[in-house]
């Protein structure tokens, strides 16, 4: 029988002036996003930049990005426990916290993309079991419940360390394949679309899982740096070195997989696939995402992580982690826009734009997409809400408390 150990809970420091200012600013931005969503509900999706050709935009970029952040956080935490990587164990609870917060917010961002919130009920009432989207919704729900349970066990007080460690190990073996499955199913939403040659590749799931580990680890690193700056969250040099090695390795694998996709398309030179790729390669109308992915979010942070004199500086490590998030998000933009802006239907009259302007055709064969202020406001509100969940969850669960103080 486990022995209960009664330990007084440590006091949590007050937020202070900076913390209160953060809460006020974050609250205002969340309200701004909520107001923009209410405006969209009254006016319809026409207030967004999405049309019939490019029907997925900023909301879906962010959804895929957040799912990756969530999966990556849990993969890192579960792998540390399942494979006995002691250097990463101090970040396990922080990783599961970010995983739970990110998957919750990822589910939220789908609501404005549907246009009408009541359509969510239709997915459960009339599920199409042959659609990866239905399975993605189910795995998101299961994943969120699992992350909450895992975090509860990790943070539970009053039980012996040995018993808590046993349950954490069991949950790690379950959490690792669950996290991989979460992002694989999200990838299959894209990869199984045979009408989108840019997406229809077996590399999609490996790409998503690799970028999930990369971005999720980067988010945990940024959260740890913030906790170290504003709280007594201690992380050893060995842990920082392990994070750097993990992110440098996944950057290399991620860019290799993307390069394989590029080479396959360029070598085959199939017109519609090449047309989609040309949009994001240097010289294309969306070339900015190429430079963000390969240089800003790829090569630059890779160099920082592999050079010891650079990664030892906290602010440089944090900058590299932030650039990783920029690069992964750029890949999501590249994926969605590249797959939609050049549809397979390329003969006149084309695809309906979903709107009409006097003197202009309401049909086009090439799509155009620019997010509107409504989309920016809603996504900003959602991301700020995510930061609030992580900050408040960190304080409420006292993530900075040592394991021996929790047991």
Q: 217-264: per-residue pLDDT in tens?
A: 999 999 999 888 887 777 888 999 999 999 999 999 999 999 999 999
Q: What does pLDDT average to over the chain?
A: 85
- Structure tokens that stand for 8 in this block: 């007084």
Query: For residues 295 and 404, what is the distance between their CA atoms, to the nearest angstrom?
Result: 43
- Structure tokens that stand for 398 in this block: 């006292």
CB 385, CB 30: distance < 8 Å: yes
pLDDT for 2 beyond 60: no
pLDDT at 284: 86
pLDDT for 190 beyond 80: yes
pLDDT at 6: 37
The answer to whether the Cα torsion of 115, 121, 124, 126 is positive or negative is negative
- The 10 Å Cβ neighbour count of residue 354 is 13
* Tokens 């790729």, located at residue: 277
Share of the chain above pLDDT 90, in %: 42
pLDDT at 348: 66
* Tokens 């919750």, located at residue: 104
Q: Whole-prediction pTM value?
A: 0.88
Q: Which of 93, 67, 68 is nearest to 172 (CA)?
A: 93
Cis omega (within 30 of 0) on the bond before 81? Answer: no
| Helix (H) or strand (E) run with residue 364 in it | strand 363-364
CB 3, CB 160: distance < 8 Å: yes
Which of 1-10, 137-146, 302-311, 344-353 has the lowest average pLDDT? Answer: 1-10
- Structure tokens that stand for 203 in this block: 């590399």
Burial class (CB in 10 A: 0-12, 13-18, 19+), 305: buried
pLDDT for 11 beyond 80: no
Largest CA distance in the chain: 80
pLDDT at 402: 57
Helix axes 204-230, 373-396, angle to 10 degrees: 60
Given pLDDT bands bounded at 50, 70 and 90, which one contains residue 10? Answer: very low
- Domains of the chain, first to last: 21-406 (1.20.1630.10)
Query: For residues 67 and 306, what is the distance between their CA atoms, to the nearest angstrom?
Result: 27
Query: For residues 300 and 323, what is the distance between their CA atoms, to the nearest angstrom?
Result: 8
Task: Return the higher-pLDDT residue of 224 and 160.
Answer: 224
Q: Sort strands 351-352 and 363-364 into parallel, antiparallel or unpaired.
A: antiparallel
In which region does residue 115 sit, left (phi positive, over 0), alpha (psi from -120 to 50) or beta (all else)?
Answer: left
pLDDT for 167 beyond 70: yes
Q: How many residues in the chain?
A: 407
CB 78, CB 217: distance < 8 Å: no
Instruction: Break the chain down into helix, strand, coil percent, rounded to 5.
Output: 70, 0, 25
pLDDT digit string, tens, across residues 83-137: 888 888 888 889 999 999 999 999 999 999 988 887 788 888 888 888 888 888 8
State the Cα angle at 366 between 272 and 282, rounded to 5°. Answer: 65
pLDDT at 163: 79
Encode 269-278: b = buried (16+ Cβ within 10 Å), e = exposed. Answer: eeeebebbbb
Q: What is the DSSP letter of 270?
A: -
pLDDT at 397: 80
* Tokens 């899982």, located at residue: 209
pLDDT at 14: 55
State the Cα angle at 327 between 321 and 332, rounded to 5°. Answer: 130
pLDDT for 406 beyond 60: no
pLDDT digit string, tens, across residues 12-55: 445 677 778 889 999 999 999 999 999 999 999 999 999 888 88
Query: For residues 381 and 26, what is the distance between their CA atoms, to the nearest angstrom?
Result: 8
């Amino acid at each position: 029988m486990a022995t209960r150990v009664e330990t007084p809970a440590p006091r949590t420091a007050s937020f202070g002036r900076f913390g209160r200012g953060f809460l006020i600013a974050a609250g205002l931005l969340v309200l701004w996003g909520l107001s923009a969503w209410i405006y969209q509900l009254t006016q319809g999706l026409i207030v967004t930049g999405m049309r019939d050709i490019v029907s997925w935009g900023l909301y879906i970029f962010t959804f895929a990005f957040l799912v990756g952040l969530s999966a990556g956080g849990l993969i890192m935490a579960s792998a540390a426990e399942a494979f006995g990587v002691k250097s990463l164990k101090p970040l396990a609870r922080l990783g599961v916290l970010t995983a739970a917060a990110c998957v919750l917010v990822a589910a939220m961002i789908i609501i404005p993309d549907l246009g009408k919130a009541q359509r969510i009920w239709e997915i459960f009432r009339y599920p199409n079991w042959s659609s990866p989207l239905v399975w993605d919704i189910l795995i998101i729900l299961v994943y969120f419940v699992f992350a909450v349970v895992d975090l509860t066990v990790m943070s539970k007080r009053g039980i012996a360390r040995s018993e808590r460690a046993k349950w954490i190990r069991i949950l790690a073996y379950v959490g690792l394949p669950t996290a991989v499955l979460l992002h694989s199913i999200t990838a299959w939403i894209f990869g199984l679309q045979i009408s989108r040659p840019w997406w229809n590749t077996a590399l999609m799931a490996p790409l998503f899982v690799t970028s999930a580990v990369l971005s999720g680890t980067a988010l945990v690193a940024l959260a740890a740096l913030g906790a170290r700056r504003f709280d007594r969250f201690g992380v050893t040099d060995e842990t920082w070195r392990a994070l750097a090695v993990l992110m440098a390795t996944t950057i290399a694998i991620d860019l290799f997989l993307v390069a394989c996709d590029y080479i396959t398309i360029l070598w085959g030179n199939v017109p519609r696939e090449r047309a989609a790729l040309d949009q994001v390669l240097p010289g294309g109308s969306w070339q900015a995402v190429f430079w963000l992915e390969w240089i800003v979010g790829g090569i630059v942070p890779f160099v920082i992580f592999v050079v010891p004199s650079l990664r030892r500086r906290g602010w440089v490590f944090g900058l590299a982690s932030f650039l990783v998030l920029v690069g992964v998000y750029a890949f999501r933009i590249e994926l969605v826009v590249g797959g939609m802006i050049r549809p397979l239907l390329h003969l006149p009259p084309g695809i309906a734009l979903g709107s009409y302007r006097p003197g202009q055709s309401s049909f086009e064969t090439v799509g155009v997409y620019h997010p509107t202020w409504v989309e920016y406001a809603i996504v900003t509100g959602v991301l700020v809400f995510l930061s609030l969940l992580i900050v408040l969850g960190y304080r409420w669960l006292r993530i900075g408390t040592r394991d021996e103080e929790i047991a």
